[in-house]
Amino acid sequence: MNVYHITYAPEIKTASLYFDGCNFNCLGCIRKKTMYDVHLKARSGSKSGFLSLNEVLKILNRIGARTVIMMGGEPTIDPELPTLVEKLRKSGISSVLLTNGYELEDKLLENVDRICVSIKAWSDELHRKFTGKSNKNTLKNFRKIYDSGVSLYSESIYIPSLVEVREIGKIARFISSVDPEIPYRIDAYIPVNGLWRAPTSKEVKEAVKEAKKHLRRVTCLYGDEKLKYEVLNVI
Ligand code: SF4
């Protein structure tokens, strides 16, 4: 598989799998800052290698994970992802997929429990500028996930001078056209390579206010939140 890093929060029995590679090339990708779980106190250096499907399953069983969050990178470009998710369901482990929504196999929707689609921008031009790809697939797949009945939520990143209040409002309006009850989170951008600054909490609050004009369940992350649970490095 494309999995190269696993962390675990024992208190909530939740493991996070980190997948290598992505079909987008976002200018402000957090992975340009670190390839590892940002909640770890210390982890650096190069990747130790990729794990096979069996190795991933063995590790999850050994640590006793009850929930698995799949992130990256972009997990959906891994051809073994649908099989992993199927095996997790058979083992009674719930799965959460964090994705840019660009590619989506039907087989995945049969077994995954929850999906978070990151919508980078509503404007296709802005989306292409930031990610290198059109947002058409993402928006189409967003509706497809909703129609499949899989639990769906969404998030966007507030980036000063790029994705601000008006753009967030347009994204929220799109989500509400699918269902105004879909949860939506606005994350403060974490600066990478000095491209843009982090937004102020006032700016993020303004974006939340705008999104709430369209959606009922809007939350945010200011970027300075304290960890609720201990996170351990597994591999
Ligand atoms: S979609 Fe996510 S992982 Fe992929 S390049 Fe963009 S920020 Fe990075």
Q: Ligand 1 centre and the CA of 5: distance in Å? A: 16
Residue 182 and residue 214 in contact, taking contact as beta carbons nearer than 8 Å: no
Contact 24 CB / ligand 1 (< 6 Å): yes
Contact 95 CB / ligand 1 (< 6 Å): no
Tokens of 231: 């996170």
Q: Ligand 1 centre and the CA of 119: distance in Å? A: 11
Mean pLDDT of 211-230: 94
Query: Edge-to-edge strands of the sheet including 3-9?
Result: 218-221, 184-188, 151-158, 114-118, 94-99, 67-71, 14-19, 3-9, 232-233
Residue 63 pLDDT > 80? yes
- C-beta atoms surrounding 76 within 10 Å: 24
Instruction: Find the domain containing 116 and state its range.
Output: 3-233
pLDDT, position 29: 93
pLDDT, position 202: 97
Residue 231 pLDDT > 60? yes
Q: Ligand 1 centre and the CA of 174: distance in Å? A: 21
pLDDT, position 47: 60
pLDDT, position 44: 56
The whole-angstrom separation of Cα 39 and Cα 231 is: 6
Instruction: Give residue-wise pLDDT tens across range 204-218.
Output: 999 999 999 999 999
Contact 25 CB / ligand 1 (< 6 Å): yes
- The Cβ-side half-sphere exposure at 122, using a 13 Å CA radius, reads 15
Contact 29 CB / ligand 1 (< 6 Å): yes
Specify the higher pLDDT residue, 84 or 44: 84
Instruction: Give residue-wise pLDDT tens across range 146-156.
Output: 999 999 999 99
The CATH code of the domain that includes 114 is 3.20.20.70
pLDDT, position 227: 85
Instruction: Report residue 168 CA to chain centroid gap.
Output: 17
Average pLDDT, the chain: 95
Q: What's the whole-model pTM score?
A: 0.95
Mean pLDDT of 190-219: 95
The whole-angstrom separation of Cα 194 and Cα 48 is: 28
pLDDT, position 225: 87
pLDDT, position 194: 85
Instruction: Give residue-wise pLDDT tens across range 84-138.
Output: 999 999 999 999 999 999 999 999 999 999 999 999 999 999 999 999 999 999 9
Contact 72 CB / ligand 1 (< 6 Å): yes
The domain total for the chain is 1
Contact 100 CB / ligand 1 (< 6 Å): yes
